[in-house]
Amino acid sequence: MIGAITAGFFSLPAPSLSVDYLVVAGGGAGGGGFAAGGGAGGLRCTVDATGGGGSLESALALALATNYSVTIGGGGAAVANGVSGNNGSNSVFSSITSTGGGGGGKQSTAGLSGGSGGGGGARGTNNGGAASPSGQGFRGGNTNYAGGTYTGSSGGGGAGAIGTDQPSPGNTAANGGIGIATTISSTSVYYGGGGGGSGRTASDGTPVGAGGNGGGGSGGDEGTTNPTAGTANRGGGGGGGFGPANVSAAGGSGIVILSYSNVFTITIGAGLTGSTTTSGAKKITTITAGTGNVSWA
């Protein structure tokens, strides 16, 4: 008769859990002075859709009682007249990094590359910044007027669509690209909208560029309308500023949302700001600021 196998002869694999995630980086700031909207922060997600039209990301298989790093990227800081917008900062969860959005181009300058690219500045033919690396967002809009006197600018790229190109000719500003909707938090919310470009509303009645759905800020005009910042924790791009009186607007900060089985308990470490709710069989942890570690038991 064969005896029972004792525990000393084998070891069980360590238990693990599957974690769905949304990782959104900080959005880029709009440029200052006849300038374009900033690009949205890069967006990577395992639920519904991910940025840049790429394939849906895969959930992570993680070990219990193990620290995993989290960083929430800040939005790019606003800039003065005559300066291209600052890029947003990266957001991180474990092995997943989303890239900060590109700053909007100043006058006669191309947009900056980022998770989504910043738009091209007014006065000339100026390309939007590229979405780099690919698969997190879209490029910024292009400014097409070659005559050099018109002052409408293009929109920053969004997680879900390119920034709108500025039409040629004209003072009309272009809108930021739309973001991505995800139900990872149990309700549908848009993240990663691009910033709107600046225009000449006061003198000829043309509208400033609207921010893309998902937290993008709107553009400014020649003195009556200030650009608006990207929405905090949506990764939206900031709106572009117009003339000497208008600085740009900052990008919105990023966010990390984690969804996992409610049989597990998360510990949110020092340095992070976050909270956890329960929705059916899932727990949902939302982290809105800081750098630190999370772990599960």
Here the contacts of 267-274 (C-beta below 8 Å, separation 24 or greater) are 267/294, 267/295, 267/296, 267/297, 268/292, 268/294, 269/67, 269/293, 269/294, 269/295, 272/70, 272/72
pLDDT at 196: 97
pLDDT at 9: 45
Tokens standing for residue 23: 């990782």
Q: What is the dihedral of CA 49, 53, 55, 56, to 10 degrees?
A: -10
Tokens standing for residue 271: 């340095």
Helix (H, G, I), strand (E, B) or coil at 51: helix
**Alpha carbon distance 244, 231 (integer Å):** 24
Lowest mean pLDDT among 16-25, 36-45, 159-168, 243-252: 243-252
pLDDT at 39 exceeding the cut of 60: yes
pLDDT at 31: 97
Confidence of residue 6 (pLDDT cuts 50, 70, 90): very low
pLDDT at 205: 66
Residue type at 138?
F
For 104-128, what is the mean pLDDT?
95
pLDDT at 177: 98
**Alpha carbon distance 135, 171 (integer Å):** 32
pLDDT at 130 exceeding the cut of 60: yes
Side-chain-side CA neighbours of residue 47 (13 Å): 22
Confidence of residue 245 (pLDDT cuts 50, 70, 90): low
* Cβ neighbours, 10 Å, residue 207: 16
pLDDT at 3 exceeding the cut of 60: no
- Whether pTM > 0.75 for this model: the answer is yes
* Residues with Cβ within 8 Å of residue 5, at least 6 apart in sequence: none
For 211-231, what is the mean pLDDT?
92
Element (H, E) at 276: strand 272-279
- Closest by Cα among 121, 119, 116 to 179: 116
52-73 pLDDT, tens digit per residue, is: 999 999 999 999 999 999 999 9
For 125-140, what is the mean pLDDT?
96
pLDDT at 285 exceeding the cut of 90: yes
Tokens standing for residue 120: 């091209």
The more confident residue out of 100 and 224 is: 100
Percent of the chain with pLDDT over 70: 90
146-191 pLDDT, tens digit per residue, is: 665 667 899 999 999 999 998 766 678 899 999 999 999 999 999 9
Mean pLDDT across the chain: 91
Confidence of residue 203 (pLDDT cuts 50, 70, 90): low
pLDDT at 201: 72
pLDDT at 290 exceeding the cut of 70: yes
pLDDT at 248 exceeding the cut of 50: yes
- Closest by Cα among 194, 242, 257 to 27: 194
Tokens standing for residue 90: 């990266």
pLDDT at 194 exceeding the cut of 80: yes
pLDDT at 14: 57
Q: Hey, where are the domains in the chain?
A: 17-254+266-284
